[in-house]
Chain A
Amino acid sequence: MIVAKLIDTTLCIGCKACEVACQEWNDQEYTMGTFDGSYQTKPELEANFWNLIKFNEFEKDGATSWLMSKYQCMHCADAGCLAACPAPGAIVPLANGTIDFVHENCIGCGYCITGCPFDVPRLNATTKKAYKCTLCSDRTAVGLEPACIKTCPTNCLNFGERDELLHLAETRAGELKADGFADAGVYNPQGVGGTNVLYVLKHASEPEKYGLPKDPVIPWTVSLWKGPMKWMGTLMFWGTVFGAFFHFVIYGPQDPEKHGHPEDPSDKS
């Protein structure tokens, strides 16, 4: 069974209880940042801060409002972090759809940061390993819902079977449309095969306004490296090795006795 989180951004009141629950459950120290005049706790995710409520300012018809969004790992079906990771066993896709980081196997190269189209993983400067939301794999394994879901006071956050939540999301989007939000819809980007974190957005055609990428895909340079380039490299390596070997077998080494001297018009001595 694939599990998912559903975030109904229209119900978020920006209380940040989920941020606190995430820090508490995962036993993360809070690092003070710089205050940049925003209600947002931090400008970005950090190695020890995996769940960020974004207060996106939105202007329409002269009025400013907030488009709330909860930012964390999206647990992609086709995960860019996993595609880019060179260390077997460091990023593990679980049977329930969670993309889990296993730190014993992490080598700290940071390729997952580059592979992730959502720019989610972060390196810890001390341990030199990459961290991000685990979808509370240590809770879901024993049948509990993730800490953020558990704590949300408004039912903005839901957790459960992905198919059911997708259905719920469509229903909610339909209700919003009926309420006059013609652009309402579900964020479930297909470029990464769909995500296990789903959003209901009032302005679904403009996810950038929520700080979400519009058409996230695994970066083509990562696909190039993991795909065609791998073939090319293997071919060139063995081609050269066998080429050299058979050159030797056919022609043998260079031999001044047998092979004559290079032409040199001035060297007729």
Chain B
Amino acid sequence: MATRRTQVTNRNSEIRIPRFDAYERVMHWMAALSFFYATLTGLALWSPKLYWMATMMGGGYHIRGSHPWVGVVFAVVMGVMARRWANGMRLDADDRIWLTRMHKYATHDHAALPPSGRFNAGQKMLFWAQLATTLALFVSGFVLWFPEWMPRSLRLISIAAHPLAAIGSITSILVHVYMGTAAVPHSMRAMLRGYVLPEWARFHHPKWYKAWRASHHV
């Protein structure tokens, strides 16, 4: 680890490529924090075996009150994220090929992959999956929030749809967290500090890197 860090850092020490501006970073970490809270409190109500988490978070009565509000915060942040990123998340021709060769990505056979833009096809799919599950969670969650006012048929659908959407969203976030922390070294710096180094950009997002070079005449 240490040696690699020195290598990548030294070789390009002067050049920093901006990747996420402050707006994007705050938006992302608000999504992550609200998601984290909603996940813990949601899991507490998912199974009696996990109810100790409710006790840990202030008791069942308390989290029944807070979970939906934090869910609303999460949904709003996801709306902001969608406005910011939806355009750039459209799949292009390379991305479609990339998706059919996803196993090459997983086994580090990068030479077999078409080049990615600012986001690779996997990241784009995560984004769309999160938007879809957020919508499902928000609608079904809203129904479950006010059982006295909601028609029974909607409540019956939501009581199954809400945890189902949560399973989808939690598992995809687990993959995302693995990618962001362990699998792709230095990507965390992009989301915490906002910049990446040229070598990182050239390897992970070649088309994006080229566009940056072109516009900066490097």
Contact = CB atoms under 8 A, between A and B. Distances in A.
A233 B46 contact: yes
Given A225-B160, A236-B167, A256-B200, A86 B48 contact: yes
Given A128-B65, A254-B110, 11 more contacts: A88-B48, A110-B148, A113-B147, A221-B157, A225-B163, A229-B160, A237-B170, A255-B185, A256-B202, A260-B109, A261-B203
Interface residues of B, number: 56
A264 B207 CA distance: 9
Interface in B82-133: 106-116
Nearest to B160: A221
Interface secondary structure of B, over-half rule: helix
Nearest to B60: A107
A256 B199 contact: yes
B164 A263 contact: no
A95 interface: no
Interface in B170-193: 170-171, 174-175, 178, 182-185
Contacts of A251: 106-108
A262 B113 contact: yes
17 contacts: A87-B45, A111-B144, A111-B159, A113-B147, A114-B152, A125-B148, A230-B47, A244-B182, A255-B108, A255-B185, A256-B202, A258-B108, A261-B202, A262-B114, A263-B113, A264-B114, A264-B115
Contact of B183 (A110, A224, A254): A254
Contacts of A237: 167, 170-171, 174
B156 interface: yes
Given A107-B60, A247-B183, A114 B159 contact: yes
Contacts of B217: none
Interface string B19-50: 00000000000000000000000001111100
A117 to B, nearest CB: 10
Interface string B56-89: 0001110111000000000000000000000000
A28 interface: no
B216 interface: no
Nearest to B183: A253
Interface of A: 84, 86-88, 105-111, 113-115, 119, 122-123, 125, 128, 219, 221-222, 224-225, 229-230, 232-233, 236-237, 240-241, 244, 247-248, 251, 253-264, 267
Contact of B110 (A106, A119, A224, A259): A259
A162 B207 CA distance: 76
Contacts of B171: 236-237, 240
Contacts of B204: 254
A123 B167 contact: no
B51 interface: yes
A233 B206 CA distance: 37
Nearest to B174: A240
Given A123-B147, A263-B111, A108 B156 contact: no
Given A233-B167, A251-B107, A263 B160 contact: no
